Structure 1
């Protein structure tokens, strides 16, 4: 089984990310920064937050479903705000999504918030609402159950330091993972956590028996050259039984986002 975790950057470089996802077609894709604009059929809209202006694929969720026709997709919104079509405001939802290949029966799901609650009337002030989603799937090829939970960690304008909100967020993420996983499951917890190595977030997850793979296996960051700010780490993947990991990689090439895909392959037996 192959599991991929990726912050899709709102599909900003869709001409690269969509072919990449179509080619790799992971069994389970945990995708953050997903846009869904049900009132628009436009390909592109614009996000504006003061001086921060970013082109967004208006229906990134739809785009990914189209290139993964053999997958079932679940979109988990954190907020509904406004994107712009020129001077026209367009309601648009923002959150994360999980895509599961149809060969894997989904035998459990869990969805909730790790920071704040759903924001229905705008994206809100930073740090904004953040959702999380988990799936429990049965891998018939290997006669095992795999539980996968991911989140997009809150963004604090002051930086990636430890805060009480981030600690609470980590505990909520752990509660969600524990809420869906059952004894004997292979457990994966992943996402764009928006923290540095050595953070309290990772300590909380480690104390629960999870092993973090990015730094443990010597990778020097999870950001691509498209990310121009200091700090090369944001994304992490943790597992409860490292011995069952066949391979783990942080994919630096091709660059499909300002984040690197994290790719986990489990042993076949």
Structure 2
């Protein structure tokens, strides 16, 4: 971990987190509010505007999960001084007992209103938008990139995040995962200008020795989670083998004032990644 005491008030703070559909929202929302990132990159976000229900249920065979029905709304209300952008990957249904409710699933980006958004791109790293049902595995995956002006450091910064595809066979290298890494790079390049500081992040759903990270490294990006010696990005809520899923990369490590993987508090089954520039 690197740190520069006394500079936190001057830092631009970026948080990346898979929100687990808001399952631990009672811990997550206060943590996000207290941490107050300038930019929050949030994956696994539920948006169900057709209902006022707080909780619905996701059903996929024997895979059943409680979902915070309007997780996007919840986080937006927690960060009222942020611009909120939701990027759906698919619309399917969630359930209230036997009653189905249309619900969109994807990722979201929250940017403090003091930080000007001067460029933006939204697209897909795997498949395309699924309008009727969440689709067959591996399902559609979206990405979102923004270019902002960082007045604290007098420079432009591009930040692009994705939720990498989930393969039921595991986190091994596949042609689809290699292609999604290239698509992520392409989206980042669309929103990046020369001399920009570049950040890529997200729940990539791959291991540290993956082809995905090699492709990103070949593009000049340095991965911070393993590069700074963290032992994983999962916590006690994750019961399966393999402790890595989430990554954050940057093109200039000298711009990193502090980076950490947050193990406490536990606000999801993923750990927040927190970067101060």
Per the TM superposition, whether the score is higher than 0.5 is: yes
Correspondences of 1:93-108 after superposition (within 5 Å): 93-108=104-119
1:148 aligns with 2:156: no
Q: Equivalent of 2:91, from 62, 80, 99?
A: 80
The CA distance in 2 between the partners of 1:5 and 1:158, in whole Å, is 25
Partner of 1:250: 261
Q: Equivalent of 1:11, from 22, 47, 55?
A: 22
Question: TM-score, length-normalised on structure 2?
Answer: 0.96
SS of corresponding position for 1:136: strand
Residue 142 of structure 1, CA deviation: 1.7
The CA distance in 1 between the partners of 2:155 and 2:80, in whole Å, is 25
Question: TM-score, length-normalised on structure 1?
Answer: 0.98
Residue 26 of structure 1, CA deviation: 0.2
Partner of 1:64: 75
Partner of 1:27: 38
1:160 aligns with 2:146: no
Partner of 2:203: 192
**Count of matched residue pairs:** 266
Partner of 2:237: 226
Partner of 1:237: 248
Residue 25 of structure 1, CA deviation: 1.2
SS of corresponding position for 1:178: helix
What per-residue deviation string (whole Å, max 9, x for no partner) do you get for residues 87-145 of structure 1? 00100000000000000000000000000000000001100000000010001222110
1:169 aligns with 2:183: no
The CA distance in 1 between the partners of 2:153 and 2:178, in whole Å, is 35
What are structure 1's unaligned runs of at least 5 residues? none
Partner of 2:225: 214
Give the aligned CA root-mean-square deviation in angstroms: 0.4
The CA distance in 1 between the partners of 2:206 and 2:152, in whole Å, is 35
Q: Stretches of 4+ moved more than 4 A in 1?
A: none
The CA distance in 2 between the partners of 1:265 and 1:253, in whole Å, is 18
